[in-house]
Structure 1
Amino acid sequence: MGIRDAMPLLARHEGVWDGTYVHYNAAGEKIDAHRSRLLCRIDDDARNPYHQTNFYSWADGRTEVRDFPAEYRDSRIWWNNDLITGWAAEVALDDKKRTLMLYWQRTGTPDLYLYEMIQLSDDGAHRCRTWHSIRGGMIETRTAIEERLVTRDWRTYEGESTVRVD
């Protein structure tokens, strides 16, 4: 069984997503915001059947690219790279089939971990994501992400590294 069959909700996330990340500190004060383009790729035959590349752009001209290849096993995708270690799974209790849950730690920072919830709209064209970053049992930051699907055909965007900042 391939990842598309094993994780049909994850398969609905395949494509190119444009969005906005807004980060808040523990007091609820906005500390950062930036635009994003995410390439979410699925290839059942690959060593890493899920592969996500994030392109970030800030209004001041800064850019950053982060790459997240993932393995599939035990009904989850798993990351273990220079940036993060963790997993993502479909939430079986969600009978609407809208919710993915992620857990990860930044590599080299074992006292900081993050939980993320991703909600996909019923039409598959929008999603919202929330992160809770926790250090020493206390909330450190919250992140709110809103995204819209640009295209399911991520191959047409392969290698494109810029996101328009309005």
Structure 2
Amino acid sequence: MGIREDMPLLARHEGVWDGVYSYYNAAGDKIDEHASRLFCRFPDDGPFPYHQTNHYTWPDGRKDIREFPAEYRDKRVWWDNDLIVGWAAEVGLDEYSRTVMLYWQRQGDPSLYLYEMIQISDDGQSRCRTWHWIRDGKLETRTAIQESLVSKDWRAVEAEMNASAE
């Protein structure tokens, strides 16, 4: 069986998502916020069965793009790149099939790790995500993300973006 068959909940996330990332320090004060557009892909060709690209835009005009190609094995998606090492797995105990859990560490900073929980709506049109950044066993930052599905057809949106950039 392949990634789509083994991870049907994660496969529901395929597509393009627009959202807002809000960051809070341990005291609950907002310390950052920016818009996002994420491409969650399960390409039929290429070396990686899952590939996510995150486009971030801040109100002051800053932009960042991050690539997260991933391998698949043991019913988990696995990342190991210049930025992070970690995994994503469906939460089997969720009888409603809404929850995916991630764990990752920043490369070169073993004192910091992160757990992420993603809930997708029953209609698949929205999702919310929370990150808990933990350094030396203590909460350092929380990230709250709200997203809406733009399109399941990431190929068409990607082609449109590439055409408008030329």
TM range (shorter): over 0.9
Q: Distance in 1 between matches of 2:117 and 2:101?
A: 5
The reply to whether residue 50 of structure 1 matches residue 50 of structure 2 is yes
Unaligned runs of 5+ in 1: 162-166
Q: Distance in 1 between matches of 2:43 and 2:3?
A: 8
8 Å Cα contact 2:151/2:157 also seen in 1: no
Q: Distance in 2 between matches of 1:44 and 1:3?
A: 11
Q: Partner amino acid for 2:123? A: D
Aligned residues between the structures:
161
The reply to whether residue 127 of structure 1 matches residue 119 of structure 2 is no
Deviations 1:31-69 (A, max 9, x none): 000000000000255421000000000000000000000
Deviations 1:65-100 (A, max 9, x none): 000000000110000000100000000000100000
The reply to whether residue 145 of structure 1 matches residue 155 of structure 2 is no
8 Å Cα contact 1:2/1:44 also seen in 2: no
What does residue 62 of structure 2 align with?
62
8 Å Cα contact 2:105/2:113 also seen in 1: yes
Q: Distance in 1 between matches of 2:111 and 2:45?
A: 35
Whose RCO is larger (CA < 8 A, sep 6+)? 1
Q: For 1:95-134, list aligned pairs within 5 A.
A: 95-134=95-134
8 Å Cα contact 1:106/1:112 also seen in 2: yes
8 Å Cα contact 2:18/2:149 also seen in 1: yes
Q: Distance in 2 between matches of 1:27 and 1:46?
A: 44
Unaligned runs of 5+ in 2: none
Aligned structure 1 segments of 4 or more residues deviating by more than 3 angstroms = none
Q: Distance in 2 between matches of 1:87 and 1:48?
A: 14
Q: TM-score, normalised by structure 2?
A: 0.94
The secondary structure found in structure 1 opposite 2:5 is: helix
What does residue 25 of structure 1 align with?
25
8 Å Cα contact 1:51/1:70 also seen in 2: yes
Q: Distance in 2 between matches of 1:4 and 1:37?
A: 22
Q: Distance in 2 between matches of 1:45 and 1:55?
A: 22
Q: Which has the higher helix share?
A: 2
What does residue 88 of structure 1 align with?
88
